[in-house]
């Protein structure tokens, strides 16, 4: 908090009295005593300062301007400004963590905060922006509202990882950060979560010594990925309304995961049982592969099963409260002209058609079919001979597999006009194909090679690089 008054005590001693902090969790308290230099800005009474060693002062300008824009973005997004009237961001030499969101006094490693526009790379600018946006997002998710106990650590970190991309997309719309999010965060954590050594996002923590091991990519990146899934399911407006309701309801207090789901259900007027849907993603490890297989002239069956890099890994389905079945809001894109049939369907097998609500490049020549699959199998209908693309914009946390004929149709479409598919889906086709090929099916390797070689000039990748990258799977999935 800012200094309220200073008293000269004599004998070279002075006493500073600070304003009283808002109610806050004790882990958010910090002190810094250093001979640093600061660059500051007053933003309508909200003081922002960036601190660094004196010889690094020239590298603080970017962080100050970005922080100002980011605080304004989140204040508008949540409809609630920062409560603490000042924000000090400090570049600390040899800081053990990457950064720490102490309320009003955010600490960083020097490389995570400082940027020189004349010398530093664009990748450094992107990295510094992500980290600073992540820490500022904690002001609302973590500081104003804190998880009740560490088994819901992901409520802090998963949301900060989610919200940092919202801020970057607003400040740098040309960066296409939601596509980078898929490649940089979603794909890597899918690799970790496809091993038996993974753990649920929300896991019981019975002893303080167990806390630190959950500060990992599952809490950060899978937490972010399932929130991305939820945003894709609810839409931008209802997702934002749910977050606003959550912060307004639990400000200056603690909340559990069930409290979050309840505020989302209220935000959508109980139209969706959010807790029932999301518990299948947060209370069990892993994720599914959804297989699209033709079973009739215009009919396709969707089957889900747990995806494991090593298909021979053994696990007990009964160890999970949901038997490793996930509520999949499957988005299937097909060429315009798709039709549905009037069939008796259970509430868990709803089918409907509309344009992609979250696509950054809606394509006028395609429709999207949404299928909610809470059972092992469901069906969709599509014109005979058309291609089908699953998981539009890669909003869902699952892989999609197709029969051999459909893989060839998708590769052919990529060859003719790859821009029909959103960028995230082009990346997703490569990721899905190569990871399915890790299971050592020669046909899958052919599919992977065919997809990678048909991306067009603007999206080509080195097939050799892909093969080298995924050859590491031998050490993970080698069969005896």
pLDDT in tens, 281-292: 999 999 999 898
Q: Is the pLDDT of residue 469 over 80?
A: no
Write down the pTM of the prediction.
0.85
Mean pLDDT computed over 218-242: 94
Of the ranges 33-42, 226-235, 264-273, 338-347, which one carries the lowest mean pLDDT score? Answer: 338-347
Are 77 and 90 in contact by the 8 Å Cβ rule? The answer is no
Q: What is the pLDDT of residues 142-193, one digit of tens each?
A: 999 999 999 999 999 999 999 999 999 999 999 999 999 999 999 999 999 9
Report the pLDDT value the prediction gives residue 331, as an integer from 0 to 100: 52
Distance separating alpha carbons of residues 37 and 284, to the nearest angstrom = 48
Rounded to whole angstroms, the Cα distance separating 324 from 134 reads 31
Q: pLDDT tens, 293-327?
A: 998 888 888 888 899 988 778 776 666 666 566 76
Q: Is 199 annotated as a binding residue?
A: no
**Which band of pLDDT confidence, cut at 50, 70 and 90, is reported for residue 251?**
very high
Which ranges of 172-222 would DSSP assign to H, the alpha helix? 177-181, 187-193, 217
3-state helix, strand, coil in the chain (%, to 5): 45, 20, 35
Whole-angstrom Cα distance, residue 472 to residue 221?
22
Residue 221: predicted pLDDT: 96
Domains of the chain: 21-139 (1.10.390.10), 147-282 (1.10.390.10), 288-477 (2.60.40.1910)
pLDDT at 313: 82
Dihedral sign of CA atoms 236, 241, 244, 246 in order: negative
Question: Could you tell me the pLDDT band of residue 54, with boundaries at 50, 70 and 90?
Answer: very high
**Model confidence band, residue 437 (pLDDT cutoffs 50, 70, 90):** confident
Give the rounded percent of residues in the chain with a pLDDT score beyond 70. Answer: 79
Confidence of residue 342 (pLDDT cuts 50, 70, 90): very low
Q: What is the mean pLDDT of residues 202-224?
A: 91
Q: What is the pLDDT of residue 449?
A: 64
Give 68 or 472, the one with higher predicted confidence. 68
Is 360 annotated as belonging to a binding site? no
Q: Which residues are catalytic?
A: 135
Query: Quick one: which of 160, 372, 219, 275 has its CA closest to 267?
Result: 275
**Residue 233 banded pLDDT, cuts 50, 70, 90:** confident
- Residue 426 region by backbone torsions, left for phi larger than 0, else alpha for psi between -120 and 50, else beta: alpha
Nearest-angstrom CA–CA distance, 186 and 227 = 11
Average pLDDT over residues 255-281: 92
pLDDT at residue 372 is higher than 60: no
Q: Is 138 annotated as a binding residue?
A: yes
pLDDT at 414 over 80: yes
């Amino acid at each position: 908090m800012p200094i309220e008054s200073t008293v000269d005590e004599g004998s070279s001693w002075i006493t500073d009295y600070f304003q009283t902090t808002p109610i806050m969790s004790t882990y958010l308290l910090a002190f810094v005593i250093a001979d640093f230099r600061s660059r500051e800005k007053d933003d309508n009474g909200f003081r922002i300062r960036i601190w660094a060693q004196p010889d690094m002062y020239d590298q603080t300008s970017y962080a100050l301007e970005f922080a100002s824009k980011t605080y304004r973005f989140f204040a508008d997004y949540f409809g609630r400004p920062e409560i603490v009237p000042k924000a000090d961001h400090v570049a600390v030499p040899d800081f053990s963590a990457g950064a720490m969101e102490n309320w009003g006094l955010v600490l960083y490693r020097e490389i995570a905060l400082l940027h020189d526009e004349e010398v530093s790379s664009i990748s450094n600018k992107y990295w510094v922006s992500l980290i600073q946006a992540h820490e500022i997002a904690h002001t609302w998710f973590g500081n104003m509202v804190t998880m009740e106990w560490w088994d819901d650590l992901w409520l802090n970190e998963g949301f900060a990882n989610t919200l940092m991309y919202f801020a970057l997309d607003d400040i740098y719309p040309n960066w296409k950060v939601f596509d980078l999010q898929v490649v940089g965060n979603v794909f890597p954590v899918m690799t970790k979560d496809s091993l038996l050594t993974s753990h649920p996002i929300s896991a019981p923590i019975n002893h303080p010594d167990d806390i630190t091991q959950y500060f990992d990519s599952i809490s950060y990146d899978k937490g972010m990925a399932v929130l991305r899934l939820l945003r894709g399911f609810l839409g931008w407006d209802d997702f934002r309304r749910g977050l606003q309701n959550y912060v307004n309801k639990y400000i200056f207090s603690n909340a559990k995961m069930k409290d979050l789901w309840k505020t989302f259900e209220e935000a959508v007027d109980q139209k969706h049982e959010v807790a029932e849907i999301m518990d299948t993603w947060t209370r069990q490890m892993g994720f599914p592969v959804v297989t699209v297989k033709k079973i009739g002239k215009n009919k396709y069956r969707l089957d889900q099963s747990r995806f494991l890099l090593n298909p021979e890994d053994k696990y007990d389905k009964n160890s999970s409260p949901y038997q490793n079945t996930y509520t999949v809001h499957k988005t299937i894109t097909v060429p315009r002209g798709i039709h549905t049939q009037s069939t008796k369907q259970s509430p868990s097998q709803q089918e409907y058609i509309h344009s992609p609500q979250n696509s950054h490049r809606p394509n006028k020549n395609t429709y999207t079919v949404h299928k909610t699959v809470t059972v092992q199998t469901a069906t969709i209908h599509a014109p005979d001979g058309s291609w089908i693309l699953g998981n539009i914009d890669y909003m869902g946390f699952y892989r999609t597999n197709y029969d051999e004929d459909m893989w060839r149709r998708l590769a052919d479409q990529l060859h003719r006009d790859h821009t029909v598919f959103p960028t995230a889906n082009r990346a997703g086709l490569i990721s899905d194909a190569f990871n399915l090929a890790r299971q050592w099916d020669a046909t899958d390797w052919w599919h992977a090679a065919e997809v990678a070689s048909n991306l067009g000039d603007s999206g080509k990748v080195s097939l050799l690089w892909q093969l080298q990258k995924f050859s590491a799977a031998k050490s993970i999935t080698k069969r005896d």
